[in-house]
Amino acid sequence: MLIQRMNGISLSEESCRLLAQRVYCTGLAMLLILSEVFSSNIQSTLPTLSTLFRVALTGCGALLLLAKCVLLTRYESRGQWVLLAAVIAYTGFASLYGDDNWFVLAALAGLGAKDVDLRKAVRVFLAVTAASLFVVQLLHYTTPLVPFKYYCRNWDYGYGHYNGYGARLIGVFFAWAWLRWPRLRWYDWAGLTALLLYTLFVPICRGAGGAMLLLLLLFLLQKLLPRIFESRLYHGLLLAVYPLLTVFSVAAGYFFDPMVPDRTPILRRIDRLFSGRFEIWHNVFWQTPLSLLGGVPTDGDEHHSIDNMYLALPMNKGLIGAILVAAVFLVLLWRLCRGQHTGELLCMTGMLAYFLMENKVFLIASNPFLVLLPCVFFARKGQPLPVLCPTPGKIPATATVEE
């Protein structure tokens, strides 16, 4: 750690670890509040105050995470320092070029997770996201500070779009499920099921609700047939999910013509299930040329947003960025498969399905699995991966609640 080498500073290893944990969790909490509270409709009623808070939270959160990466993290080789610099430099450039500040912030949140206690970090994630979401909904229903705005078939629940609300709900759901697996008790199942039903039937977020349902079904199947989820068959299928969903997205956007939908009756039926998203995917390929660096805005109103990560990445980050992000996903999945980390693999399966319906991969409040980035960039040969869930052979026969 560089902080131990600075003149006049004498800190023990334990003190440095404790400081690193606090700095990381504080920076993460600031970015979560930015995403949950000050990315809501409060920006339209308190624009000056919201701008000040957004600048302060973005700047302080980023500086704290950068300080954690540079000063409070021990790297085992020069190569890891090079990787750190390269990832921050590229994501910073791509964020400016594609007008997506969350890209570099997500990278800092992921890289900063090296050597921290992930369980404590995910608890902070869950507590801050749940509390902030509650505050926004309380203001939304009881004050004019977070106003009602009707959008298409529903109101926006204070986030500009009801699917933006669903994106925050899914962050709470996945953090809760991940933190508690494999020790889910009856109250966990009841709470997760209630959150699933609320997401499906109140804001009617089918993308988020569908991913929640899929994850609960996977948890049930894993209880009934655990060996299947430890097999090479499941691991091979999971590794194929990312390229298969990419091919499906490209094919649907290419072949489905919203002007003549009856020409492809199967795609027409799927398009209805996907709330008409194929029309947006179609316009991507016929109106926007692909490029190496991208730069096309992919998040906005219904006519400009691309509700599919697999298509949004090449548009916004270009072919280079899409390939790099895909490589990160595949390396992470491959290492989780090798380590038999079933809990993380189940959660990642649900999240990959969600990204077919939404483009929220870098929104920190929606994706708690960003903290697994050290598994990709800083994994050491012969050392266990920094994950939360135990491998199947280490799961107690009668799991108790871990305090």
Question: How much is the pLDDT for 149?
Answer: 84
Instruction: Tell me the two tokens of residue 134.
Output: 């509650």
Q: Identify the band that residue 89 occupies on the pLDDT scale cut at 50, 70 and 90.
A: very high
- Helix 118-142 to helix 162-180 angle (10° resolution) is 150
Q: Identify the band that residue 10 occupies on the pLDDT scale cut at 50, 70 and 90.
A: low
Q: Are 249 and 298 within 8 A, CB to CB?
A: no
Query: Within 10 A of 244 (CB to CB), how many other CB atoms are there?
Result: 13
Percent of the chain with pLDDT over 70: 92
| Cα atoms in the Cβ-side hemisphere of radius 13 Å centred on 190 | 3
Mean pLDDT within 315-326: 95
Percent of the chain with pLDDT over 90: 76
pTM for the model: 0.93
Mean pLDDT within 99-126: 96
Question: How much is the pLDDT for 279?
Answer: 84
**Rounded-to-integer distance, Cα 167 and Cα 211, Å:** 11
Question: How much is the pLDDT for 1?
Answer: 64
Mean pLDDT within 26-54: 96
Question: How much is the pLDDT for 135?
Answer: 97
Mean pLDDT within 222-233: 94
| Average pLDDT of every residue of the chain | 91
Domain ranges of the chain: 10-243+318-394
**Rounded-to-integer distance, Cα 165 and Cα 168, Å:** 5
Q: Are 267 and 292 within 8 A, CB to CB?
A: no
Long-range contacts of 326-333 (CB under 8 A, 24+ apart): 326/242, 326/243, 326/246, 328/373, 328/376, 329/242, 330/239, 330/242, 331/376, 332/372, 332/373, 332/375, 332/376, 333/238, 333/239, 333/242
Name the least confident of 27-31, 131-135, 157-161, 285-289.
285-289
Per-residue b or e along 58-93, where b marks 16 or more CB atoms closer than 10 Å to that residue's CB: beebbebbbbbbbbbbebeeeebeebbeebbebbbe
Question: How much is the pLDDT for 395?
Answer: 60
Query: Cα-atom radius of gyration of the chain, to the nearest Å?
Result: 21
Question: Which single residue is written with the structure tokens 């992470």?
Answer: 332
Question: How much is the pLDDT for 122?
Answer: 98
**Rounded-to-integer distance, Cα 177 and Cα 231, Å:** 22
Question: Is the pLDDT assigned to residue 344 strictly greater than 70?
Answer: yes
Question: Is the pLDDT assigned to residue 23 strictly greater than 60?
Answer: yes
Helix (H, G, I), strand (E, B) or coil at 38: coil
**Rounded-to-integer distance, Cα 59 and Cα 313, Å:** 25
**Rounded-to-integer distance, Cα 22 and Cα 395, Å:** 29
Question: How much is the pLDDT for 367?
Answer: 97
Question: Is the pLDDT assigned to residue 185 strictly greater than 90?
Answer: yes
Mean pLDDT within 209-234: 96
Q: Are 284 and 256 within 8 A, CB to CB?
A: no
* Neighbouring residues of 240: CB distance < 8 A, sequence distance ≥ 6: none
Q: Identify the band that residue 166 occupies on the pLDDT scale cut at 50, 70 and 90.
A: very high
**Rounded-to-integer distance, Cα 121 and Cα 367, Å:** 13
Question: Is the pLDDT assigned to residue 379 strictly greater than 80?
Answer: yes
Mean pLDDT within 383-397: 78
Q: Identify the band that residue 15 occupies on the pLDDT scale cut at 50, 70 and 90.
A: confident
Q: Identify the band that residue 403 occupies on the pLDDT scale cut at 50, 70 and 90.
A: very low
Question: How much is the pLDDT for 305?
Answer: 67
Q: Are 358 and 207 within 8 A, CB to CB?
A: yes
